[in-house]
Amino acid sequence: MMEMEIKTTIGHLSGPGHTFEPDTKVSKIFMTMINNQAITDFTVVDGNRVVGFMPGTAFNEILNCKYRYRAYSQKTIREVVQDREFLKVDHRMPLGCVAKLAAQRPYGRQRNPIVVEDENGYHGIVTMNDLLKAVCGKGKDAISGAVDMWYIYEQYVKNTPV
């Protein structure tokens, strides 16, 4: 299989994503997500510095019953954010390098979006679906993650240093 040369950087793919300040109350984030169901994950940004990432599934687990909601609703997201070891990359990084780093994440985190930073701090996020489409080409079905993650592994991870 011929290796594809990718010239686009991750910054070209990034979108604004959803962010909350660290002192935002969990109840406010919950209501924001209820009113805007397009928010599935969010980044915690202090000023413009990324301090955490919260997958929507993890946020839902925190609030999965009325007793937990009562216990956590008045806490700040800083107090409950779980993922401080998320994939964060520079906006100038080539897609192939980002793909390699994404494929090497622990199981359960491989589908999480990638946080992109520039010289000013938070730049945006890139979903794995968008990264897979860009790396694998338009002819591939980026939703079929197992096949595409294998493609990334074969093309970028197997024999290339980061």
User: What does the pLDDT average to over 24-33?
Assistant: 92
Q: Is residue 64's pLDDT more than 90?
A: no
Summary mean pLDDT of the chain: 81
User: pLDDT at position 151, please?
Assistant: 57
Distance from C-alpha of 20 to C-alpha of 95, rounded to nearest angstrom: 27
Sheet of 19-20, strand order: 19-20, 41-46, 49-55
Q: Compute the CA torsion angle 112, 118, 120, 125 (nearest 10 deg).
A: -20
In this predicted structure, the answer to whether residue 120 has a pLDDT above a threshold of 80 is: yes
Q: Is residue 26 part of a domain?
A: yes
Q: What is the mean pLDDT of residues 104-119?
A: 88
For residues 27 and 33, what is the distance between their CA atoms, to the nearest angstrom?
Answer: 10
Residue 139 neighbours by CB distance under 10 Å: 5
Inside any domain, residue 1? no
Note whether 105 and 157 are within 8 A (CB): no
Give domain status of residue 58, yes or no.
yes
The H-assigned helical ranges of the chain are 10-13, 26-35, 56-62, 66-72, 77-80, 95-103, 128-136, 145-152
Residue 2 counted as domain residue: no
Nearby residues of 127 by Cβ (< 8 Å), 6 or more positions away? 113
Tell whether 82 is covered by a domain.
yes
Assess if residue 126 is contained within a domain.
yes
Q: What does the pLDDT average to over 62-67?
A: 77
pLDDT above 80 for 40: yes
User: Which domain does 20 fall in, by range?
Assistant: 10-157
Assess if residue 3 is contained within a domain: no
The model carries a pTM of 0.76
Share of the chain above pLDDT 90, in %: 37
Residue 13, pLDDT score: 92
What confidence tier does 94 reach under pLDDT thresholds 50, 70, 90? very high
Bridge-based pairing of strands 114-118 and 121-126 is antiparallel
Sign for the CA dihedral angle at 122, 86, 98, 42 comes to negative
CATH of the domain at 130: 3.10.580.10
Number of structural domains the chain divides into: 1
Q: Which strands sit side by side in the sheet containing 114-118, from one edge to the other?
A: 88-90, 114-118, 121-126
Does the pLDDT value for residue 2 go beyond 50? Answer: no
Question: Taking the CB of residue 75, how many other CB atoms lie within 10 A of it?
Answer: 13
Q: Mean per-residue pLDDT for 33-49? A: 91
Least confident of 14-28, 42-56, 137-151: 137-151
Model confidence band, residue 158 (pLDDT cutoffs 50, 70, 90): low
In a domain, 116, yes or no: yes
